Structure 1
Amino acid sequence: MQMHPVTATSSVSPQVAVVGGGIAGSAAALKLAELGAKVSLFEAGPSLVNGPPACHLHAGGNLYREISDEQCLKLLEQSIHTLRVFPHAVNQRPTVISVPLNDPGEPEALLPRLRKVQAHYAALIEQDPANQKLGPAEDYYRLYSREQLEALAEQELVAQPQSPDEWMIPVAKNLDLSAFKFPFVQVQEYGLSLLRIAATVKLASERLPNCQVFTQSKVTHIELLPGATPRWRVDYSSPQGSHSTEVDYLINACGYRSGSIDDMAKLSRSRMVEFKAAYLATWPNPQGRWPELIVHGERGTPNGMAQLTPYPDGLFQLHGMTDTVTLFKGGLVSSSESSAQPELDASLSRKLTQGWQAEEVEQRTAEAVKHMSRYLPSFSNAKVAGRPLFGAQQIPGSDPSLRAASVSFDKAHYARTEIVKFSSALSAAEQIIENIRELGLLSPAACGDLNTLQSTQGLAYQQVLTLAEQLAEQRNYPLSLAR
């Protein structure tokens, strides 16, 4: 399929450097290039959006009981915007939320939030019918009693579930229902493939002549130059040598490494960094096509939340919010007075830069399988399917429950994206564009629109999937994660 360049829409062409080619930096770079800016996007890794393949779309934050309703509604809006901009990224299956007997919470406590999210979703659809990305608002969630689940357990598995009840059959057949409180909640909270987003971003950037992508390029120094009009000098190294460029505006989109760029700019910033991991396992006999399964629990305790995320070919991603699975002792660190960059201990830093030892992969994956098997006994024979999905997450400020963060501004012509969830990337890009416009660096008409990213539209699904599979192979992940 022949791709045509996307025409920029602004007569004003500022030079912008974006440091960090993750989802936040890539979204900002693409949108700015579409609006007429001359963008240089620097990524230290070999390709854009290099983070671990994401597993779910937080369409309202129902997985996080500890966050505010306001954050949930913001996450819903951002998730819908993400689906509109990245239409080929969705893995469409519902999520089932359950509360076990060993948890102090009650399922009914989820209902006020679900009603608020549902009502807000209905309002968004009324504003713009194109916002209906999670099915009809009236079907956003459904409750299941124990009696209903026991009846569904008697039904035959369906290869391609079409109705809410059909999605619940494998859950009803395999879960130890005696270990749970009722009702269960089925919510239209889908999966999202970061590998297909990475593929979309690469293809989109190639359609924008004024968006130059520099991979394997590490920024080594930044400096605000003297003069009446603020400009930044950016030094960077690449396989071809050392280089320098000057720009009108600088965006720090380095994720958990954002503090290192702040330090270069001599800016202080309070933030936290948390190291987390998920695990891949193959289940020899998964019995049907599964929804995502969430078993609520108290974070950091032996009964921490368990999460089972399905992919094709019997592959599952596992989270367990305990210190032996997803969380790590010493894995949550804060910035200091002397540096805006929180420092993880040496063992976790080595994981980020050098990978994992084989025995630790086996041990942690086995713990994840064991944790899920407490509620899903037949899952106990699942086996390691690949290297863990791991990384460090930045959290601005000092509240570790913060999820709906976006962007902050500092000094002259300097912005930092501070997203916690990838669905916040487009919101951060819009705020940066508004700031650049207010500075007079873009024409007044170039204000940005969350719901449109012209360069990501019109791509063929098969084209995106093929590239996503290539990225999975290059990054040593199972191809099923791309599918």
Structure 2
Amino acid sequence: MPNSLSKYANTRVGIIGGGIGGATIALKLSQQGADVFLFEKESSLVNGPPMCHLHAGGNLYREISDQQCIDLLKQSINTAKLYQEAIDFRPTIVAVPSNDNGEPNDVISRLTVLRQEYQRLIDADPKNEILGPASEYFRLYQRSDIERLSQLPVPNQPKTPDEWMVAFAKQTDLTQLKFPVFLVQEYGISVFRLAALTSLALENSPNCELLTNTQVTSVAQNTAEKWVVETKRSGAAETFEVDYLINACGFRTGTIDDMVGLKPKRMVEFKAAYISRWEEQRYNWPEIIFHGTRGTKNGMTQLTPYPNGYFQIHAMTPDITLFDEGLVSSKQGSAQPELPDRFINKVNHQWDEQVINERTTKAIKKVAGFIPAFDSADVGGRPMYGAQQIPGDDATLRVADVAFQSNSYARCEIVKASSALPAANTIINKLLELGLLSDRSSAHCQSTFVDASMTSDITEQQIAQRAEHLALERGFPADLAGRTMPAVG
């Protein structure tokens, strides 16, 4: 596609930031016929904070409202339909530790609400049944059930709910838990397959110019009320003119807001997840969540499985996933919260090996408090890390999409990957309302995109090869680009 300062018949949209938000918006807008410029300073797309969980119901976040959980469920279902080839269709076990203030009955209440909502969504559109039947959205297990399952051999390819519970039943210290525990159809999402899918789709799009390794240095409106975007790519300056500008810079969103003279409140949080390898446990595990109070030594623990014995660990404690001074707010005079330099250095790929080993070892020991044999796991690679934006001043917010500041500027403010598709649809509706997009394809926009761009044109071999390449390029084991369960069992 031709680039700077050309004249187009179609609306020209500039998107700054190629994370999951910017990439999804670019895919949807280019399909709608807009001419899209996607500016990304890194060498590849979807290279932000760690993601591994679809959040189909928000059961990791007991501190958020039922409505936020329902919103996450809806968003996750649409995300799974759009990015089905990036979903790891293995369930999640949710358990309440015996030393925790929470109770399993609270989990049951929320899961019941979510199951009812899921059934309502299926009744409205049978294609929403991507998490399996609503009747199987969750299943509870008493201690006697777990003890019975612990006597069974671990299946190589678990399919039924009981089969998914066997490894957990055999290895977990049941004295550390309250009962019942829950198996929930909350699936995983592969950041590397997601990056591969979006990259391949945008590379194939005649309406999108993908500009990686491109730093935006200045943004301003000219006398014709067009946005002039100045960039630097491989040392060379280049200028682009667009009709509509979308700020999708993730935790750096405030830097672009500063350029255009806007000062909304926001927060930024630096977090990390740690890669371990448990050599003797190469069969398929579900994801496991041990609830806890965020920011304390008993913070939530999340164990995410990958092929060949790799596990990713989140533990919401200050010495593992969270960091002292890792949550900062914007101040008067700038929309961009300032993280301390030590976190910016980490974002820029400068981790001290000693810190990696210390924090990963602490993460392994945190898991071993529930699964004693996990103590034999080793450091499996560098951490997955990044900074996450949170619009406003509520640090518990997990559902957000888009803010419109004028008829030509929008800010993508997603916190979770599952919010990317709703954000894209919100922007499309706004551009249709403004007359900047034709509605010729809006009615079949979603279904056409899933069928044509994701399924027909891109092969599994292409996705797998690109995903593995991206994992290795970013310094991670190739197995992290794989899925333990490529389809619903």
TM-score bucket of the superposed structures, by smaller chain: over 0.9
Question: Which residue pairs with 2:172 in the alignment?
Answer: 175
Shift of 1:288: 3.4
- 1:456 aligned to which of 454, 457, 461: 454
For 2:464, the equivalent position in structure 1 comes to 465
| One-letter amino acid matched to 1:274 | E
Q: Give the CA deviation at 1:51.
A: 2.3
Question: What is aligned with 2:415?
Answer: 420
- The Cα shift of 1:52 comes to 4.8
User: Percent sequence identity over matched residues?
Assistant: 50
Range with bigger deviation, 125-134 or 39-48: 125-134
Separation in 2 of the partners of 1:334 and 1:456? 38
Aligned pair in 2 of structure 1 residues 14, 345: CA closer, same or farther (>3 Å)?
Answer: same
Task: Give the corresponding residue for 2:217.
Answer: 220
CA distance in 2, matches of 1:213, 1:85: 20
Give yes or no for contact 2:282–2:309 (8 Å, CA) kept in 1: no
TM-score of the pair, normalised by structure 1: 0.95
Aligned to 1:407: 402
Q: C-alpha distance in 1, partners of 2:437/2:196?
A: 28
Letter in 1 for 2:459: A
1:366 to 361, 364, 374: 361
Residue 85 of structure 1 contacts residue 452 of structure 1 at CA under 8 Å; is this kept in 2? no
**Mapping of 1:131-150 within 5 angstroms?**
131-150=128-147
1:305 aligns with 2:300: yes
Equivalent position SS for 2:42: coil
Alignment equivalent of 2:314, drawn from 313, 319, 322:
319
- Could you tell me how far apart the structure 1 residues matched to 2:180 and 2:265 are? 41
Residue 16 of structure 1: CA displacement? 0.6
> Could you tell me how far 1:452 is from its partner in structure 2?
5.0
| Equivalence for 1:357 | 352
Report the alpha carbon displacement of residue 300 of structure 1 after superposing the two structures with TM: 0.6
Counterpart residue number, 1:195: 192
CA offsets 1:235-271 (integer angstroms, 9 cap, x no match): 0000150011111000000000000000011111110
Q: Which amino acid aligns with 1:435?
A: K
Q: Partner of 1:307: helix, strand, or coil?
A: strand
Report how many residues are paired. 471
d(CA) in 1 for partners of 2:397, 2:9 = 36
* Post-superposition offset of 1:122: 1.0
* Equivalence for 1:334: 329
Q: CA RMSD in A?
A: 1.4
Q: Deviations over 1:190-242 (max 9, x none)?
A: 11111111111111112211200000001000001224xx3110000001500
Q: List per-residue Cα deviations over 1:435-478 (Å, max 9, x = no partner).
A: 11111111234547455524223122222111101111111111
Query: Which residue is 1:68 aligned to?
Result: 65
Task: Name the aligned partner's letter for residue 460 of structure 1.
Answer: T
1:463 aligned partner, one-letter code? Q
User: Which residue type is aligned with residue 424 of structure 1?
Assistant: S
Task: Please name the residue that 2:42 is paired with.
Answer: 45
Tell me if the contact between 1:85 and 1:457 (Cα under 8 Å) persists in the aligned partners: no
Find the aligned partners of 1:359 and 1:155 in 2 and give their Cα distance: 40
Give the Cα separation in 1 of the matches to 2:318 and 2:64.
21
Q: Identify the match of residue 106 of structure 1 among 89, 103, 108.
A: 103
TM-score (norm 2): 0.94
Unaligned runs of 5+ in 1: 1-10
Question: Which of 276, 286, 289 is the equivalent residue of 1:294?
Answer: 289
In the TM superposition, residue 411 of structure 1 has moved relative to its aligned partner by: 2.9
SS of alignment partner, residue 221 of structure 1: strand
Query: Quick one: distance in 2 between partners of 1:151 and 1:220?
Result: 62
**Which residue does 1:6 correspond to in 2?**
none
Q: Find the counterpart in structure 1 of residue 485 from structure 2.
A: none
Q: Which moved more, 1:452-461 or 1:254-263?
A: 452-461
Do the aligned residues in 2 keep the contact of 1:318 with 1:368 (CA within 8 Å)? Answer: yes
One-letter amino acid of the counterpart of residue 348, structure 1: F
Letter in 1 for 2:406: K
Task: Summarize the Cα distance change of 1:426–1:476 in structure 2 as closer, same or farther, 3 Å threshold.
Answer: same
1-structure distance, mates of 2:130, 2:93: 18
